[in-house]
C-alpha cells in the first residue's frame, strides 16, 4: 500500500483525480488502527479497482482536519477526484465492516 506524503487538500485532488482511490487514515500509536492493519493486504487484494493509500494522520494532521477526519482508523473513497463515500469515526473497524463499506460504494456506483 502506497504511503501518501504530507500534502494539503488541494494537492490531494491531484492524487485522486484518476480512477478509484481509497485513503486509509491511521497512526502508529492507534490501537484500533493496529487492529485493522493486518487485514488491509487482503482487503486491498479483494478490491483491485481501488488504489489504496495509507495516510499518516499525525504527519497529515492539517489534511485530516480539512477533510473532517477526527477519528481513526478512517477511510475515504474517491472516484475520478470526487468523494464517493467515507467510513469516518473513532470506532474500531473489522475487516467485514470495511468490506461492507467498499461493497456499498460499488453498489451505489452501478
Q: Catalytic site residue 33? A: yes
In 1-110, DSSP assigns E strands to: 2-3, 20-26, 50-56, 74-79, 82-87
By C-alpha distance, which of 22, 8, 15, 3 is closest to 66? 8
Q: How far apart are the C-alpha atoms of 61 and 107, rounded to whole Å?
A: 31
Active site residue 20: no
Catalytic residue among 33, 36, 67, 88: 33
Q: Which of 4, 22, 30, 88 is catalytic?
A: 30
Residues marked as catalytic = 30, 33
Amino acid at each position: 500500500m502506497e504511503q501518501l506524503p504530507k500534502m494539503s487538500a488541494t494537492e490531494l485532488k491531484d492524487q485522486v483525480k484518476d480512477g478509484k482511490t481509497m485513503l486509509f487514515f491511521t497512526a502508529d500509536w492507534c490501537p484500533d488502527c493496529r487492529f485493522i492493519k493486518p487485514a488491509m493486504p487482503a482487503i486491498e487484494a479483494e478490491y483491485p479497482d481501488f488504489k489504496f493509500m495509507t495516510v499518516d494522520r499525525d504527519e497529515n494532521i492539517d489534511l485530516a482536519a480539512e477533510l473532517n477526519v477526527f477519528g481513526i482508523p478512517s477511510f475515504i473513497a474517491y472516484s475520478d477526484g470526487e468523494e464517493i463515500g467515507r467510513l469516518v469515526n473513532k470506532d474500531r473497524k473489522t475487516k467485514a465492516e470495511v468490506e461492507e463499506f467498499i461493497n456499498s460504494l460499488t453498489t451505489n456506483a452501478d
